Chain A
Amino acid sequence: MDHKHVGSLHAADEKMAIENARDVYTRRMEGVSIWVVESRHIHASNPEDSGAFFDPAEDKVYRHPTFYDVPPEIKNM
């Protein structure tokens, strides 16, 4: 199941954090599963470095299945 970051809150422990997250962030059925993690345990890539970090993947088209021509008579591939 995909989990998306929706926000932060303060809580004494993880149980309170999940309950508070439910009370604040799922009021309009925005989600049916909650993960909470202490912010000190989150490590993020640096947006300033995104170029150097992610560009190399941009031109490696051969990693995609659509790059390859398989004759139409071939089934199941």
Chain B
Amino acid sequence: MSAEEINLQTRFDEKIENEARIEPRDWMPEAYRKTLIRQISQHAHSEVVGMLPEANWISRAPTLNRKKILLAKVQDEAGHGLYLYCAAETLGVSRDQMIADLLSGKAKYSSIFNYPTLTWADIGMIGWLVDGAAILNQVPLCRTSYGPYARAMVRVCKEESFHQRQGYESLIRLCEGSREQKEMAQDALNRWWWPTLMMFGPKDEESSNSELSMKWRIKRFSNDELRQRFVDITVPQAEFLGLTIPDPKLKWNEERGHYDFGEIDWEEFWKVVKGGGPCNKQRLDDRNKAHDNGAWVREAAMVYHEKRNRRLA
């Protein structure tokens, strides 16, 4: 490293140490830039792909009120994707490149969205569990070291809390309803509980990306810490609903002051991460179809814009 680079590296390290924000025009190590591009773009992709399992139930929501709520939630998620794509662009990657990587299957997105929404109760479950888990992950990100990412997360978090509350409220209705409705809710919990715990990623000792991420204060809490927090918060919420969490090992541990819980099926975790989940192919097909079917709109908008320019010139 040259003297200049050493100086820049030192100043960067000091900023991180002092919890100062790194902004787009600041010098940063290439590896910091690269890991952020990867993380932020994957986060954006997750929002956009996440719209698909939920949009699945818009046409079949049980009431007009629920339909409006679900529409609003899905629209919010498109907006979240936008904030995050814009944040990633400040690091020098183009929107076109990120979209191309998603559509080709090169880029990853959160594996939870590779599971199907089989019943209306799944929509409530996603709001309660999946958004609940996302909130635990995203609130600390409001203090992540990269400025544009942190600011995007502040806006996302404000909007995300309605997402969780609407899901939980919907489940309260189901659990207070008929026997069939409560069974539908229980069935949805049985299918979404473990995939939600998988959202927090591999165990700390097996998480290769984490060390640098934490050193650079991109990531503020470890996978296992967040996963434990999620379980501790969510168990009483399940008890209130009168639902049983599908984990026979789940038990309050007085000594630790936390819930003990069972082992995640890591084989399934890696299988889904690597593309072998129930809906991976369908998600990618749907995204590609949407992109292809929307091409005429993009082309028309550009041509119209050019035509206007020529007329005004």
Contact = CB atoms under 8 A, between A and B. Distances in A.
B55 interface: no
Given A46-B25, A47-B23, A13 B305 contact: yes
A36 interface: no
Interface in B277-313: 298, 301-302, 304-305, 308
Nearest to B301: A12
B305 A12 contact: yes
A30 B175 CA distance: 35
A74 B114 CA distance: 75
Nearest to A47: B23
Contacts of B83: 7
A23 B78 CA distance: 10
Given A7-B155, A46-B25, A47-B23, A13 B308 contact: yes
Main secondary structure on chain B at its contact with chain A? helix
A8 B85 CA distance: 10
Interface string B81-94: 01100100000000
Contacts of B159: 28
Main secondary structure of the interface of A (DSSP, over half): loop
B76 interface: yes
Contacts of B75: 23, 27
B114 to A, nearest CB: 27
B76 A9 contact: no
Contacts of A48: 26
B86 A16 contact: no
B202 interface: no
Nearest to B78: A24
B38 interface: no
Interface in A6-55: 7-10, 12-13, 16, 23-24, 27-28, 46-48
Contacts of B301: 12-13, 16
Contacts of B25: 46
Interface string B26-47: 1000000000000000000000
A28 B159 CA distance: 9
Interface in B13-29: 23, 25-26
A16 B159 CA distance: 24
Contacts of A12: 298, 301-302, 304-305
B79 interface: yes
Contacts of B26: 48
B86 A9 contact: yes
Nearest to A24: B79
B95 A10 contact: yes
B172 to A, nearest CB: 24
A8 B89 CA distance: 10
B71 to A, nearest CB: 12
A27 B71 CA distance: 13
A25 to B, nearest CB: 8
Interface string B131-161: 0000000000000000000000001000100
Interface of B: 23, 25-26, 72, 75-76, 78-79, 82-83, 86, 95, 155, 159, 298, 301-302, 304-305, 308
Across the A-B interface, the 3 shortest Cβ-Cβ residue pairs = A12-B301, A13-B305, A12-B305
19 contacts: A7-B83, A7-B86, A8-B86, A9-B82, A10-B95, A12-B302, A12-B304, A12-B305, A13-B305, A13-B308, A16-B301, A23-B75, A24-B78, A27-B72, A27-B75, A27-B76, A27-B79, A47-B23, A48-B26
